[in-house]
Amino acid sequence: MECRVLSIQSHVVRGYVGNKSASFPLQVLGFEVDSINSVQFSNHTGYSHWKGQVLTADELHVLYEGIKLNNVHHYDYVLTGYTRDTSFLEMVVDIVQELKRANPNLVYVCDPVLGDHGSMYVPQNLYPVYKNKVVPVADIITPNQFEAELLTGKTISTEKDAVEVMDLLHAMGPDTVVITSSDLPPRLGDRFLVSLGSQRHVRPDGSRTTQRVRIEVPKVDAVFVGTGDLFAAMLLAWTHHYPNDLKTACEKTFSVMHHVIQRTISYAHDLAGPGRRPSPPQLELRMVQSKADIEDPAIVTEATVIS
C-alpha cells in the first residue's frame, strides 16, 4: 500500500533545498510525494544573489482547495520546514488539523526552523506561532539545541538537561523529538557533534514508555544548505519503517546524512582544486549520486540508548 506525503517547503531551481531535498530521497524510498513550494527561488540564499517568489497564505489555501476538489487529499504524512510568514504558518496548521480529522493516524513531521547559535534567523513573531500552534499538532519535530531551548525556555548544559527539554517538548505534543545538534561535550572527541532523540510509546495497557538515544556524528568543516530538509525527510522515512525503534531510525537517518555529505565534500574539493575552499555552487548536495546510500545506508554512526 502506497504511503503519501504532503511536503510544504521551499523550492529552488538550482540545487537541493526544501522540497527538492525531501522529495527525491522520499521517492527513492517508495513514498508518493505531493509538493507545495512555499517559495520559488532561483537558488538558495547562500549565493550572492537570488530571485523568486514567496507563496502567500491565500495562495497556499487555493492550492490545497484544488487538491480537495479532486478528492486526492488523503495523506499519511505532512512534512514542513522553513517559512518566514506567520499567516502562512497558521494556514499550514489549519491544513494539518483538517487532514488529521480525516485521518487520525496522519503523522506531521515539522522542522521548527527558528535559528541557531543563539540568534534567530526568522522574524520574532514566528516563535509564538511555533510554540502555541505548530508544535502542539506535530508528531515528530527536529529542532537544534537553540530551537529546543527557545521552545521550552530551558537551557541545555548537560545530557540530563537535554532529556528534560525533550520531555517538555513531548508534553507540548510531539511523540518523537530529535535534537539534531547540540553543544554538549562529545565522548569521542572534539571532531564530533552530539545529537539526542526521544520517542514516547503507548503500551497496550495504556501506560507510556520512552526510548531515548544519543548519537555522535563527525563534524564537517563546510557549510551546506538543505541538510535540515534532508534530515527531516529521512527521519520521516526511517521512523515509518521502524516505528518503535528510534535507535535504528536515527542510525539510518544519520548514516544517510554522512554519506551524502561526504560525497558532496569529495565532489566539491575536486571541483575547487588543491588548496581552494569550495564555493556554494560546488557544495550543492550530491543527492542523485547518493541514491544507493539513501536506499540502503551502510551504518556508520551508532546510537546509544540512554536513560
Catalytic center residues: 229
25-28: long-range contacts at Cβ-Cβ below 8 A with a sequence spacing of 24 or more?
Answer: 25/230, 25/233, 25/234, 25/237, 25/256, 25/287, 25/294, 26/233, 26/236, 26/237, 28/291, 28/294, 28/295
- In this structure, are residues 224 and 264 in contact, taking their beta carbons and an 8 Å threshold? yes
The C-alpha cell at 115 is 535559528
- Of the candidates 64, 60, 39, 57, the residue with the CA atom closest to the CA atom of residue 229: 39
Provide the 8-state DSSP code for 281.
G
The C-alpha cell at 127 is 516563535
Handedness of CA 248, 252, 254, 255 (dihedral sign): positive
- Of the candidates 116, 120, 125, the residue with the CA atom closest to the CA atom of residue 179: 116
